[in-house]
């Protein structure tokens, strides 16, 4: 095995220019780690937020840092205390965000964070699933305990997270109201949404009332206006910023903020839903690892329809 590999790292925080495609040392394995040969890695907003230094206070990172925490690949080595996998297994993972990420030919991850990738997906599509699907799962299942027959409003339903949230909510038997732009009407209906709101023409709070759960992936003004559509006792769950404790108490509503964590067991459950045809990722574009700056520019534009994926190896 080669002792060096190609990777994209940052040596300082800043704009696109701090992303460097370079040769670095292979990762070292901890006893409970597996070494994964990365086939594909997805790009997420958290990647450029970390690159620009926005999360320095929240996360323990040391520079230089390899970005990218959404990976599909093959196991090549198993640590002595890492169970459940063998060399050659196809896996997907949202690894620990405080370790080096997957914009690289190899990544070391805890075995407990990984799961066998969905059998029905190739590595490009599998890489688009872990972070977004875990975000949806931990918001809708863990935090909101979404049940069959309940109604959920999903914001930005055509995005990487929103598109999987719509499908997960439908798989749980919920009624789904989705916001997106008019260009995504057909797409969102295809995902299973029961009601569509074009946010460019209609204020969602004028069209919706009495929902059980709002899933906020936007924050700001959208989050503030979301309180108005909830029924008494309903929940506003955000993955962007903590909803106001005061407003929740004043209106008799519940709130949750989810910063997702790695979870191999949840990824196994998600893989079963994918293989059963109940969830599928959307791909906006696929670029080579060396073109990561373009991938970040697209992500920062905020209008990707589904996920941006970096092709690392065949």
pLDDT in tens, 250-308: 999 999 999 999 999 999 999 999 999 999 999 999 999 999 999 999 999 977 888 99
- State the DSSP string of 217-243: SS-HHHHHHHGGGEEEEEEEEESSSPP
Q: Regarding predicted confidence, which is higher, 122 or 55?
A: 122
What tokens does 12 get? 């300082």
Contacts of the segment 292-301: beta carbons below 8 A, 24+ positions apart: 292/8, 292/19, 292/21, 292/43, 292/103, 293/16, 293/17, 293/19, 295/43, 296/16, 296/19, 296/43, 296/47, 296/48, 296/51, 297/16, 298/43, 299/43, 299/44, 299/45, 299/47, 299/48, 300/45, 300/48
Q: Half-sphere exposure (CA, 13 Å, Cβ side) for 120? A: 13
Total-model pTM? 0.94
Strand partners, 104: 7
User: What pLDDT does residue 2 have?
Assistant: 59
Q: For residues 15 and 220, what is the distance between their CA atoms, to the nearest angstrom?
A: 23
CA distances to 44, 151, 208 from 47, rounded to whole Å, are 5, 31, 33
Whether the CB-CB separation of 93 and 264 falls below 8 Å is answered with: yes
How many residues comprise the chain? 314
Burial of residue 186 (number of CB atoms within 10 Å: 0-12, 13-18, 19+): exposed
Q: For residues 30 and 280, what is the distance between their CA atoms, to the nearest angstrom?
A: 33
pLDDT digits (tens, 9 = 90+) for 98-143: 999 999 999 999 999 999 999 999 999 999 999 999 999 999 999 9
Cα Rg of the chain (Å, integer): 19
Q: What 8-state DSSP symbol labels residue 113?
A: G
Percentage of the chain modeled with pLDDT above 70: 99
User: What pLDDT does residue 221 have?
Assistant: 96
Other beta carbons within 10 angstroms of residue 42's beta carbon come to 33
pLDDT of residue 97 exceeding 90: yes
Q: Residue 68 — pLDDT band, cuts 50, 70, 90?
A: very high
């Amino acid at each position: 095995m080669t002792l060096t590999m190609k990777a994209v790292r940052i040596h300082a925080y800043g704009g696109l220019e701090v992303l460097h495609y370079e040769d670095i040392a292979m990762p070292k394995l901890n006893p409970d780690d597996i070494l994964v040969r990365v086939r594909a890695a997805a790009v997420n907003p958290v990647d450029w937020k970390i690159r620009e230094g926005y999360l320095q206070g929240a996360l323990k990172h040391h520079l230089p840092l390899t970005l990218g925490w959404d990976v599909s690949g093959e196991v090549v080595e198993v640590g002595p205390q890492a169970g459940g996998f063998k060399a050659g297994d196809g896996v997907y993972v949202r690894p620990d965000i405080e370790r080096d990420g997957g914009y690289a030919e190899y990544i070391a991850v805890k075995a407990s964070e990984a799961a066998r990738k969905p059998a029905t997906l190739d590595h490009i599509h599998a890489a688009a699933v872990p972070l977004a699907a875990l975000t949806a799962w931990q918001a809708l299942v863990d935090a909101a305990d979404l049940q069959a027959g309940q109604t959920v409003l999903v914001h930005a339903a055509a995005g990487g997270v929103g598109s999987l949230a719509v499908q997960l909510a439908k798989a749980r038997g919920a009624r789904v109201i989705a916001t997106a732009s008019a260009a995504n009407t057909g797409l969102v209906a295809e995902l299973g949404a029961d009601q569509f709101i074009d946010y460019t023409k209609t204020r969602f709070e004028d069209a919706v009332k009495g929902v059980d759960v709002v899933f906020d992936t936007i924050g700001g003004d959208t989050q503030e206006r979301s309180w108005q559509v909830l029924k008494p006792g309903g929940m506003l769950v955000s993955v962007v910023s903590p909803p106001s404790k005061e407003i929740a108490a004043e209106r008799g509503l519940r709130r949750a903020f989810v910063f997702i964590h790695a979870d191999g067991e949840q990824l196994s459950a998600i893989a079963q839903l994918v293989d059963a045809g109940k969830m599928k990722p959307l791909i906006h574009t696929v670029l080579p690892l060396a073109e990561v700056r373009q991938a970040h520019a697209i992500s920062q534009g905020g209008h990707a329809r589904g996920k941006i994926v970096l092709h690392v190896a065949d």
